[in-house]
């Protein structure tokens, strides 16, 4: 039985995960990237890969005939129920935590890294309790979608990516020479391996080591807040016949815990593409940007690797951004503190020092006159991970893009300091790579 935590620190528990039966399916054909990384083309690929691909649950196709009774959420619940009845998904016999390894080469590199972590249940905490910290803003629409899915399925299928801090002792506790119970490569060539850990002594040692930790959400802000909302709904609904305080399954969510000091914890930049502006002038942009930054013209034919190298070099001295149009490229650096002071009203010095905040507040809002609401709703804004892709979007013969903004990635120290200060970054400020696969383990609430 899950016990109420007496201390407001990370409260970790083993669980009996549902996992795909490898005798019935090929794991590589049924697991997926997180739902928010699945574009329409990848959704179709997942559908074609297997009739039991998890995409049918976490991001199913919408149909014209959908109504309040038959829809993407009701179908997800039906698949989840049916696959358990058919033995496609089988529940482990023993409560366990699951050691998780990801071996990968960073984009543009041939050298491999290995990121270690473990999967377990973590107690869902209010942010005000000072146990779980966010670092990014969230949007209402994705949370509404995930809440409808959770209500229908009563299951967690993807991992909440949580960061804790230690010197490596928890990874050492979970070192396991045995063969993994899961070994699968994803479409990016990342090798994911999972070991089931049922030894009570090891589990208790991990729980003890985690009992003084505070957690930062790396990925999964929308799903965490969805789980929090769902918990509160269920608490209210169950008030007349509630289980002992803090023990109900909905008090917990499935999480992957990774040491933020790991050298294999990689954050990639997320570049911005601005499109659909009614009037845009390269020269007017350049002149207006000079109020906030030093602006240098650079080779407009630069490619992705060259852009990344320029940003890395210039970033050693502070905030730096590359703004690229179809015909021009500008390096923006050394923000002007006299011009930016009024722009950052209400923001701490920690937030003001972030390249992404400089971009949003100075360039998107002041120079291009995009409102905060339009940015949140992505009306004139899209996000791209790869620098070469960002450049191709703004240079293509049929491009609708006006300008691309390329940035350096946030540093882990910045994420940590912002989160623990109770502050947030703009949405899509961090891209932790690689992603945690969905469908490796599944947590059913009933």
List, for residues 188-214, the tens digit of each pLDDT value.
Answer: 999 999 999 999 999 999 999 999 999
Given a contact cutoff of 8 angstroms between Cβ atoms, the answer to whether 58 and 223 are in contact is no
Q: Give dist(CA 58, CA 74) in Å, integer.
A: 12
Residues 93 and 223 both lie in one domain: yes
Flag whether pLDDT at 6 surpasses 80.
no
Nearest partner of 33 among 52, 59, 5, 65, judged by Cα: 59
Q: What is the pLDDT of residue 310?
A: 96
CB atoms within 10 A of CB 133: 22
What is the chain's Cα-based Rg?
23
- 3-class state of residue 230 by DSSP: helix
- 3-class state of residue 217 by DSSP: strand
Residue 244 lies in a domain: yes
pLDDT in tens, 224-273: 999 999 999 999 998 766 666 688 999 999 999 999 999 999 999 999 99
Residues 104 and 154 both lie in one domain: yes
Q: What is the pLDDT of residue 1?
A: 41
Nearest partner of 195 among 282, 120, 86, 274, judged by Cα: 120
Residues 66 and 212 both lie in one domain: yes
Q: What is the pLDDT of residue 245?
A: 66
Residue 193 lies in a domain: yes
Residue 2 lies in a domain: no
Residue 153 lies in a domain: yes
Q: What is the pLDDT of residue 339?
A: 66
Given a contact cutoff of 8 angstroms between Cβ atoms, the answer to whether 273 and 178 are in contact is no
Strands (E) in 300-416, as ranges, are 320-324, 329-333, 381-384, 401-407
- 3-class state of residue 279 by DSSP: coil
Mean pLDDT of 157-178: 95
Mean pLDDT of 16-45: 96
pLDDT in tens, 93-147: 999 999 999 999 998 888 999 999 999 999 999 999 999 999 998 888 889 999 9
Residue 211 lies in a domain: yes
Residues 288 and 142 both lie in one domain: no
pLDDT in tens, 325-369: 999 999 999 988 776 667 888 899 999 989 999 999 999 999 999
Residues 242 and 292 both lie in one domain: no
Residue 213 lies in a domain: yes
Residues 68 and 212 both lie in one domain: yes
Residues 79 and 138 both lie in one domain: yes
Residues 202 and 53 both lie in one domain: yes
Q: Give dist(CA 399, CA 322) in Å, integer.
A: 19
Q: What is the pLDDT of residue 141?
A: 85
**Domain range holding 197?**
12-266+433-444
Residues 184 and 285 both lie in one domain: no
Residues 163 and 213 both lie in one domain: yes
Residues 239 and 320 both lie in one domain: no
- Decide the pairing of beta strands 329-333 and 191-197: unpaired
Residue 318 lies in a domain: yes
Residue 364: partners with Cβ closer than 8 Å, 6 or more residues away: 272, 274, 370, 375, 381
Residues 259 and 274 both lie in one domain: no
Flag whether pLDDT at 411 surpasses 60.
yes
Q: How many domains does the chain have?
A: 2
Flag whether pLDDT at 2 surpasses 60.
no
């Amino acid at each position: 039985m899950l016990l109420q935590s007496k201390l407001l620190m990370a409260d970790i528990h083993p669980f009996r995960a549902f996992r795909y039966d490898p005798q019935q399916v090929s794991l590589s054909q049924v697991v997926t990237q997180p739902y928010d990384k699945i574009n329409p083309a990848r959704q179709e690929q997942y559908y074609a890969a297997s009739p039991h691909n998890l995409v049918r649950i976490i991001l199913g196709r919408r149909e014209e005939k959908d109504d309040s009774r038959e829809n993407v959420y009701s179908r997800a619940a039906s698949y989840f129920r049916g696959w358990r009845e058919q033995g496609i998904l089988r529940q482990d016999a023993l409560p366990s935590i699951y050691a998780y390894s990801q071996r990968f080469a960073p984009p543009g590199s041939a050298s491999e890294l290995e990121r270690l972590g473990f999967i377990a249940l973590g107690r869902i905490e209010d942010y005000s309790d000072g146990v779980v910290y966010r670092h990014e803003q969230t949007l209402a629409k994705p949370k509404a979608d995930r809440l409808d899915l959770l209500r229908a399925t009563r299951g967690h299928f993807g991992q909440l990516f949580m960061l804790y801090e230690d010197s490596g002792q928890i990874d050492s506790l979970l070192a396991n020479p045995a063969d993994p119970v899961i070994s699968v490569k994803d479409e990016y060539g990342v090798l994911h391996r999972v070991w089931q850990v049922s030894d009570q002594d090891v589990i208790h040692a991990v729980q003890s080591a985690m009992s003084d930790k505070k957690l930062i959400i790396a990925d999964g802000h929308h799903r965490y807040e969805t789980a929090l909302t769902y918990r509160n709904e269920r608490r209210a609904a169950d008030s007349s016949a509630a289980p002992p305080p803090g023990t109900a399954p909905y008090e917990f969510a499935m999480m992957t815990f990774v040491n933020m000091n790991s050298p294999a914890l990689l954050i990639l930049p997320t570049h911005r593409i601005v499109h659909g502006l009614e009037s845009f002038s390269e020269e007017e942009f350049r002149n207006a940007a000079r109020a906030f930054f030093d602006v240098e013209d650079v080779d407009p034919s630069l490619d992705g690797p060259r852009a990344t190298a320029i940003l890395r070099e210039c970033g050693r001295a502070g905030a730096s951004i590359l703004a690229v149009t179809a015909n021009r490229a500008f390096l923006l650096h050394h923000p002007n503190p006299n011009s930016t002071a009024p722009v950052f009203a209400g923001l701490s010095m920690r937030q003001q020092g972030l390249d992404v905040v400089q971009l949003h507040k100075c360039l998107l809002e002041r120079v291009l006159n995009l409102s905060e609401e339009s940015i949140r709703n992505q009306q004139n804004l899209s996000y791209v991970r790869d620098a070469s892709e960002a450049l191709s979007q703004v240079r293509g013969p049929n491009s609708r893009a006006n300008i691309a903004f390329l940035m350096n990635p946030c540093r882990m120290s910045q994420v940590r300091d912002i989160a623990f200060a109770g502050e947030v970054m703009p949405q899509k400020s961090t891209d932790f790579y690689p992603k945690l696969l969905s469908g490796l383990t599944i947590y059913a609430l009933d």
